[in-house]
A and B are shown apart, each in its own frame.
Chain A
Amino acid sequence: MALRTLITRKSLGLGLGVSQSVRGLQTVSLPDLPYDYGALEPAISGEIMKLHHQKHHQTYITNYNKALEQLHEAMEKGDSSTVVKLQGAIKFNGGGHVNHSIFWKNLTPVHEGGGEPPKGSLGWAIDTHFGSMEALVAKINSEGAAVQGSGWVWLGLDKDLKKLVVETTANQDPLVTKGPNLVPLLGIDVWEHAYYLQYKNVRPDYLKNVWKVIDWKYASEVYEKECP
């Protein structure tokens, strides 16, 4: 079940780069960034954006496609043992692709509205659930800084309870692994590769600065689709 949600474009509605049908298998490809690598400076350096996009995200895609092909073969042969063995690689690399695809949309240059707080229903919901934008930011930053090792910190929407939540996930686990009803509005990558070249070991500084380039318009769109 989880596998199908990963490879079906519709269920995610994210416009993931989907290309080539290899023997009926849909593989994925690297989505373009809607801004230049240097456009998010000084919050995130161009060097980091380029490496993050061209190396890290691309590697997840390459390995995910490879795992999918191997899975396809194993399923055709009825090789259950291999099918199960591949789940780790699929979750990790597929999750990496899903998460980073969301992340690029969560960011936007300052001159395109980066950092501008959300107006409309998402803004209200944040005030209702967290008290204020400042309180939300403080909570996300503290949970993000507390992630041990590699992972993500999310602002999510529980679409059944219509409630906003702050969650963290480990490694490349997508937000749904914390609850099947959770829709990611905003994710911040706290893997070291996301900030190390610029902020070194001071993850809290990265978290403080990334808010300047967060695209609340995108988060609001996702929110309004689930809570019209």
Chain B
Amino acid sequence: MLATPAPVSLASALLPAQGWKSSRSLLWRGKRRTCSRKGNSSLIIAKFELKPPPYPLSALEPHMSRETLEYHWGKHHRGYVDNLNRQIVGTELDGMTLEDIITITYNKGDLLPAFNNAAQVWNHTSFWESMKPGGGGEPSGDLLELIKRDFGSFERFVEEFKLAASTQFGSGWAWLAYKANRLDVGNAVNPRPSEEDKKLVVVKSPNAINPLLWDCNPLLTIDVWEHAYYLDFQLNHYCFFSQNHRPDYISIFMEKLVSWEAVSSRLEMAKAQVANREREEERRKRAEEEEQMPYSEAVKMYLESDGDGDDSEAE
């Protein structure tokens, strides 16, 4: 009760039964939360902290200004963190990992109040980490191979990513994600998984929604809420009279800001998690089978001892 969050009705109803929850929460728990115990009571106060980007706020200039970072990280992102902490304190969400809160408050689409703040906290951290000073260029190694396999070429991937980002109506995000061997149907599991089923996909999402909810591992993200680019694209730097400011921002992001190292390392983590999950599923299946065997053994023994002593089967 003290060391781990108590099982809650919402959680058991809404958290995925598959293994990703436990393997993922271990990864995020240490980085995200500080827990302190208050006096003698069993109350855990868990506060999420606003994690700074992995570079100084002015480091992305001239492609993304310090002013933008100051507002985007310092006000928007900070606001989501503060509001989330206020919303969860003393509730059953208090003490859970961010990913679990996101899943639970998503509530299968019938969003609960804390969802927007929780998801936006996660999304923005992912966004800062998707960029780096002197970014851009092309990926390499496994990541590049997978991109070529799943999109045809790096250029085709870039086209698809830019299209998703520019056609997300209203506010939202565009993602490169790693999708494991699941069918595209809710809770169905592919009975004959193969390596080809695991693939990279480009997806877009509205407002605060993110691909964690679709059981994908996000690898790269771009924020296309207007606040992400409005200050930089309306003022001095770029084409004041160009019709469409968002596409310019997306291009700059791809050409000058993307951190392919971060994307590659997330891909490795994703592959490891998926492999872990498969192993756990195997183990679980085997355990279930083993459990059933003693029963049939008992039946056999019963029949043998109760029968005439001959070994003929009852049926």
Contact = CB atoms under 8 A, between A and B. Distances in A.
Report if A and B associate in a common complex.
Answer: yes
Given A51-B234, A149-B171, A59 B227 contact: no
The 7 nearest A-B residue pairs measured at CB: A149-B171, A192-B226, A171-B170, A149-B207, A150-B170, A201-B75, A196-B230
A149 B172 contact: yes
Contacts of B121: none
Given A55-B243, A148-B116, 13 more contacts: A58-B243, A88-B169, A92-B169, A148-B208, A149-B170, A149-B206, A149-B207, A150-B226, A191-B226, A192-B227, A196-B227, A200-B75, A201-B227
15 contacts: A47-B234, A149-B172, A149-B207, A150-B170, A150-B226, A151-B170, A171-B169, A191-B170, A192-B230, A193-B230, A196-B227, A197-B231, A197-B234, A201-B71, A201-B227
A88 B207 CA distance: 17
Interface residues of A, number: 22
A170 B169 CA distance: 10
Contact of A200 (B71, B170, B171, B172): B71
A197 B76 CA distance: 15
B16 interface: no
Contacts of A148: 116, 207-208
A181 interface: no
Given A150-B226, A192-B230, A59 B243 contact: yes
A193 B231 CA distance: 10
Contacts of B116: 148
Contacts, number: 52
A172 B234 CA distance: 21
Contact of A201 (B76, B207, B234): B76
Interface string B245-261: 10000000000000000
A170 B225 contact: no
A197 B226 CA distance: 11
Nearest to A95: B169
Interface in A40-92: 47, 51, 55, 58-59, 62, 88, 92
Interface of B: 71, 75-76, 79, 116, 169-172, 206-208, 225-227, 230-231, 234, 243-245
A67 to B, nearest CB: 12
Nearest to B74: A201
A200 B206 CA distance: 21
B307 to A, nearest CB: 68
Question: Which of B116, B172, B206, B226 has most A Cβ within 10 Å?
Answer: B226
B171 A150 contact: yes
A187 to B, nearest CB: 16
B107 to A, nearest CB: 15
Interface in A163-177: 170-172
Nearest to B172: A149
Contacts of A62: 243
Nearest to A192: B226
B86 to A, nearest CB: 15
Contacts of B172: 149
Nearest to A200: B71
Given A149-B225, A150-B226, A193-B226, A170 B170 contact: yes
A151 B225 CA distance: 12
A55 B170 contact: no
B313 to A, nearest CB: 60
Contacts of B230: 192-193, 196-197
A55 B227 CA distance: 16
A171 B75 CA distance: 23
Contacts of B225: 149, 192
B231 A196 contact: yes
Contacts of A59: 243-244
A151 to B, nearest CB: 8
Contacts of B208: 148-149
Nearest to B235: A197
A191 B170 CA distance: 8
Contacts of B76: 201
A171 B169 CA distance: 7
Nearest to B207: A149
Interface in A130-185: 148-151, 170-172
Contacts of B169: 88, 92, 171-172
Interface in A110-132: none
Question: Which of A58, A148, A193 has most B Cβ within 10 Å?
Answer: A148
Contacts of B171: 149-150, 192
Nearest to A58: B243
Contacts of A51: 234
